[in-house]
Amino acid sequence: MARALRLGAPPMTLTSISFNFTIIEEEGFRVYHEPYTLYPYFMLKWIEIDLKLIGANVRAVKKELRPGVALMAVVKEDGYGHGALETAKTALANGADMLGTLTLEEAAILRRKGVTAPIAALAPAPAGYAADFIKFGIIPTADSLDFIKALDAKTPAGCKTRYYADIDSGLRRWGVQPEDFPAFLEKTLKYKKAVPAGISTHLAYAPRKNMIEAEEKLSSFRELGNRAEKFYPGLKLHAANSAVLCDFPHWQLNMVRIGNLLYGLYPSRVYLERTKGPPIKGIERPWKFYARIISIKKVRKGESLGYASDYIACKPMTIAAIPAGYADGLTLEPSEKSIKLSAGQAYWGMIGGREAPFVGRAGIAHTLLDITGIPDVQTGTPVLLPVRRTAASARIPRIYK
């Protein structure tokens, strides 16, 4: 049996190949590694995802919900970078009632991987996709009569296909305009096989800012929902995402759709800065991106470093290189944007609880850090890095624990 080692950790054992991934196991971790990437003898960068914390976050959200309020766990964009399948299974095992993706494609992948729970695709699709929603048993979001007509036509006789009718509350991305919704609703009545499962909307709401406007929009949505329920009893009404749940817990209606909070992310720092603490307690971050130091150099005062030599050391410095750059999602900026003294230190890694500022330009596959004064640093030392989770490269191995 093949073996691979990891610096500073017990040996890993290559156990099997499944679908498109090589599965490596180590002390309960699972590493999904794409087969076309050469697996190194020493893992130099990786992402750790603690599924126990995601489960705890789901339970923390559930505690805030009134009896009878359903929880849709949103796993769009590969579960916000955490892995849609692993996140979906964890959310369902900890009390989520259904799943939400952005597109039919995301939902179909979950179906093919064995997920049988209800799944809603939250973005509308062209009418030509109606048959595929039925094939995979996915609840579509509809804001056009053409789509509903196609859904009705493709539904077999004696069956019903459910959809969510979406209302535009000001975000202007999709949805029926509120003033047009009563007429839209009346026109749906002629379709007997395609019927709404619920009504949805997404507020253009910034946490703790446009609260009066948001309250008015929610009230208007509730009125439209009441009107729809006269024609279609038992509808699920959902407008509350993470921000709305935090600031308007009384507007849970009978379903909430939550993404950020499940992944340990409050929608804004304002919730963490409140003297009485965040509105929903027990939310923890389950995601960490690490890279190991592969080189350490001494730089004298006045010497330059990095691309274009546009970072000048103002003092003797110790510089470390890590094999992670903007191709991995680091800094989210193109290489011509550098981090200079005049701009301040915009990014840094963490080594043993100490900040190590980025210096010079981030390259496609490397970044330099100032480790001056940080003790016990050597090649192989892991650095905890700030990367937007949805931008982290899919090439980086994910380790689940």
Alpha helices in 11-122 (DSSP H): 51-64, 76-80, 84-93, 104-112
In angstroms, rounded to a whole number, what is the distance separating the alpha carbons of residues 203 and 246?
Answer: 14
In angstroms, rounded to a whole number, what is the distance separating the alpha carbons of residues 176 and 181?
Answer: 6
> Of 392, 399, 288, which Cα lies nearest the Cα of 31?
399
Integer angstrom CA distances of residue 397 from 40, 180, 256, 328, 366 = 11, 48, 32, 11, 17
Distance of CA 74 to the CA centre of its chain: 8
In angstroms, rounded to a whole number, what is the distance separating the alpha carbons of residues 260 and 196?
Answer: 27
Q: Could you give the 3-state DSSP secondary structure of residue 54?
A: helix
The one catalytic residue among 307, 337, 340, 401 = 307
209 part of the active site = no
* Tokens standing for residue 217: 């929009």
Alpha helices in 94-129 (DSSP H): 104-112
* Tokens standing for residue 257: 């759709």
In angstroms, rounded to a whole number, what is the distance separating the alpha carbons of residues 25 and 41?
Answer: 15
In angstroms, rounded to a whole number, what is the distance separating the alpha carbons of residues 47 and 217?
Answer: 39
In angstroms, rounded to a whole number, what is the distance separating the alpha carbons of residues 175 and 172?
Answer: 8
In angstroms, rounded to a whole number, what is the distance separating the alpha carbons of residues 214 and 78?
Answer: 29
State the first-to-last Cα distance of the chain, in angstroms, to the nearest integer: 23
76 part of the active site = yes
The one catalytic residue among 45, 76, 217, 236 = 76
The b-or-e profile of 123-142 (16+ CB within 10 A means b, else e) is: bbbebebbebbbebebbbbb
Enter the DSSP assignment of 222: H
- The set of catalytic residues is 76, 307
